[in-house]
Chain A
Amino acid sequence: MTPQTSVTFASVKRGRVPLAELDVRDAEAARKLDRVRPSGIDRPARMSTFNSAL
């Protein structure tokens, strides 16, 4: 059976990564998750801000 749903998935499916292969640790995924579940980490580790060095 295919129950009626008003949501269309056309835009969802392009180049989608299979669920088991989703990397929730990469920076982009972590930023997305942080919006709905804030981790409290406000600054990525190993990022230097000192003006006179990199």
Chain B
Amino acid sequence: MTRPVVPFREIVLKVHSRCDLACDHCYIYEHADQSWRTRPKAISDEAIFWTALRLAEHAKKHALPSVSVILHGGEPLLAGPARLRRVCDELTKALDGVAALDLRVHTNGLQLSPRYLELFDEFGVRVGISLDGDRTANDRHRRFADGRSSHPLVLKAVELLGTDRWRHLNLGLLCTVDVANDPVAVHDALMELDPPRVDFLLPHATWDEPPPRPDGSPTAYADWLLTVFDRWDRQGRRVPVRLFASVLSTLSGGPGLTESLGLTPTDLVVVETDGTLEQADSLKTAYDGAAATGFDVFAHTFDEVAAHPGVRARQLGLGGVARACRECPVVRSCGGGLYSHRYRSGSGFENTSVYCTDLEALVRGIEHRTAARSVPAAVADDGELRAEQHELTRLLLADLHRELDGRGGDAWAHAWELVGTVDRHPGGLDGVLTHPYTRGWLLGSLDALREGRSGAATLPAGRLAASVAAAAVRCGLDLAVPVLYEGGTLLLPTLGELRLGEAAPRGTAEVRPVEKGLLVRAAGCETRIPLPGQPGARWRPVRRLARDGAPGLAIDDLDPYRDCFDVPVTPRLGQDEAAGWASRLARAWGLLRARAPEQAAAAAASLTTLTPVAGQRPAVGRHGIGALGLPLRAGAGELAPLLLRGWRRARLRALLEVTDLYADDGRWTHPAPWRQEPVAVSELLAGAYERTGLRAFDPDGAEAALRALDTLGRAAELTVGGKALLALLWEEADRDRPGR
């Protein structure tokens, strides 16, 4: 099957093909590819026009919100202000109304002057500068052809760009590593210049032309970079470093941030000064013509070059790295290294990186140094998990308010204003927002808005007002809250439901807390509910489990948003039916306390709500940590392991909603002791998590979980958080195993 092309979002535009420095490590002039010799020095008007046109049509076709164009060389400033103005002007006009244009230029800084910066300011072109560190380090390679140092002139440019007048255009400094340089001196020299960001590049090399290793160490580059990392870390990471940020991002489950690391598909293309379209610039280091595609902007679209096999090879993620890399635990972070660094005559790019040992040592070194600080507290602390979940619900409510953007009508606006009032009083709003089915309402409302469903903007107001009213009652706040109701019933989340009857199927009720209860005025009638926990003539309360030592969980068979499981929920239970289920649940809780006391305590601290469901198994939905659906028909002996199974599922799901335990789920498959077919890491972790928790009820399952934990220890997908959870699972499993 043909995969769709990955659109280009980053264009490297070569505006000048020559340079005023003669750096001996430059991949353009000093490495295998010598195509620069035949290129025009400066980009032509025609190439500028067609590049802008192609880019605009590409952005339009793929509905790209933004594109980056990096003006590059050679030395791009040698193109001169007039040529650069034409480039910026054509691109800006072509992209106007199509996509946001992010213009950048990368320079050696020698020509940088206010004249250029005024031009860049006019078009919003941000400027990055190459500097290899202190003078000794910089002069090692970055010299003029006659051997003179470029360092003083580069410092002058950095200083100019750092002044108040131009600081907003400053992108930062790019430093190529040489292990002969003092890493601390290089780091300090760069940081002293107060750049907004820095990146360190490994010098281009291949298996045919390996990098110098003066002391023969296979990890010389990792050691050098880790020394820089330690210095950077100890000084408080004042300046973002792209290389380190990328490794930290992937270790925590995020994307790679540079084409040299990670498995994110490459989405950049190079336009040479003669309009030819090329692949990644760094391929020039491999062999003469390595970057060529045979396409140009005059006759070919960007889509055509996006479909080029060489371009696609760098978009395959795991499928595009060497076989040995695919099973390596650090491949998510290193991504097999920069494509050009894998080259070897004969086998082409089907190799590990010539920096493989360095990349592994670098990733593991950063992980070792930061894992303890990077693990989200919620992994090991249920209190933190509840806090994170609560904050997530608050964010979703704020997001719903933003999405409505005034479309919710007066009812929403008034209820939102009252939210601010009850939010200042302890316990009230928190008690309703942590109600699990509040989450279901918020997610359902946001989905309805995204899908443009009828009534999506006006329906949420009723539930918000009902939540505010329930919050006011919970904290005894003297506040009259108007609540829209429908279907002849007024539901107050976490409290209960008032049946207003067929005579008043819809309308607005006024809810006001009074003493220990509430007063409802609707359809010309006034109903006083003195004790909301007790049933009344028309009041159906949310019942509570509290009996025989079981925790006081709500038994919610009223809230319409409880219908969030993959099995049907039951209708409101009759009095006897509810009493019978509560009695069985209380006995089940007693069994749980006897056989798995720690887990019974953890479940009691985090669960707030149980809902009766059909079927024979526990159910967990998108409701955060607090709820479980449990079978109405199960006996106490069956309910105990079902309760535990459900709690384990709810906790893992809640954890996954607030942190990344793995990344690239499904990219690899693993053997699972309980399945014939290999499974994705998500299924393996879920199975192991559940079975480890159920060891008191299912010893065979716990044995299978041990084998799964072993497998998970070798999985590349686990983040630092996932690895911390794995360590906790081993501790939990070992607790009951004599001799371990």
Contact = CB atoms under 8 A, between A and B. Distances in A.
Nearest to B513: A1
B474 A2 contact: yes
Contacts of A43: 9, 255, 264
B645 interface: no
A16 B546 CA distance: 31
Contact of B255 (A3, A9, A13, A42): A42
Given A36-B443, A54-B172, A48 B474 contact: no
Contact of A6 (B390, B391, B553): B553
Contacts, number: 170
Given A37-B446, A48-B70, A20 B420 contact: yes
Contacts of A22: 394-395, 398
How many chain B residues sit at the interface, stated as a range, is: 35 or more
B264 A6 contact: no
B532 A3 contact: yes
B516 A7 contact: no
B658 interface: yes
B106 A54 contact: yes
A1 B476 contact: yes
Contacts of A6: 551-553, 604-608
A24 B405 CA distance: 13
Contact of B475 (A2, A24, A45): A2
B257 A4 contact: no
B390 A51 contact: no
A47 B10 CA distance: 9
Nearest to B430: A9
Given A2-B427, A12-B430, A51-B201, A24 B259 contact: no
B162 interface: no
A52 B106 contact: yes
A42 to B, nearest CB: 7
Contacts of B392: 32-33, 36
Interface string A35-47: 1110000110111
Contact of A35 (B172, B258, B260, B658): B658
B553 A3 contact: no
Nearest to B424: A18
B66 A49 contact: no
Nearest to A22: B398
A36 B657 contact: yes
B68 A19 contact: no
B626 interface: yes
A42 B257 CA distance: 12
Interface string B444-483: 0011000000000000000000000000011110000000
A9 B605 CA distance: 11
Contacts of A45: 65-66, 100, 102
A24 B395 contact: yes
Interface string B589-627: 000000000000000111110000000000000100010
A42 B551 CA distance: 42
A52 B280 CA distance: 10
B12 A32 contact: no
B338 interface: yes
Contact of A49 (B128, B264, B494): B264
B139 interface: no
Interface string B252-273: 0001111110001011100000
8 contacts: A1-B532, A2-B427, A3-B495, A49-B258, A51-B258, A52-B27, A52-B72, A54-B128
Closest 6 CB pairs of A and B: A54-B128, A53-B106, A22-B398, A11-B387, A54-B171, A45-B66
Given A6-B608, A29-B395, A49-B264, 9 more contacts: A1-B473, A32-B395, A36-B443, A42-B255, A43-B264, A45-B66, A52-B282, A54-B128, A54-B199
